Amino acid sequence: MLIKALRIGLGQIIIFLDFITRPRKLKRDPQLQARVDGEAAGLALYQFNACPFCVKTRRTLHRLNLPVALRDAKADEHRQTLLAEGGKLQVPCLRIDEENGTRWLYESKAIIAYLDQRFAPS
């Protein structure tokens, strides 16, 4: 019980620190932002709210101004999808819907590298 309370408390601290130190959103030309929004429509991030690696990944989404759907992996529906289609219950996990199928990308560093490579300004 004490461990659970400690985890919840630390989770709330992580969320608060993320909120007060959140990076600025990338400003794009409205036409370019509309194109980026369309490309980001094929992405979904499976995550836990207070997971430090998920917070790190969400900060990148915020910084790059990407409207990616967030899926709480604690919800049964999303948990089952993550396990059945992604292959394992691990967060963060980025679901990438492409023309030739769906890819599941695990590990915050790999997800951040993918997002930076695909959406960061050149």
The amino acid occupying position 94 is L
The full set of domains in the chain, from first to last, is 2-119 (3.40.30.10)
User: What mean pLDDT do residues 3-9 have?
Assistant: 85
The beta strands (E) that lie in the chain are given as 43-47, 69-72, 93-98, 101-106
Distance from C-alpha of 78 to C-alpha of 67, rounded to nearest angstrom: 18
> Beta 93-98 vs 101-106: how paired, if at all?
antiparallel
Going by their DSSP bridges, the two strands 101-106 and 43-47 should be labelled as unpaired
pLDDT of residue 51: 93
pLDDT of residue 118: 95
Mean residue pLDDT across the chain: 94
122 pLDDT higher than 80: no
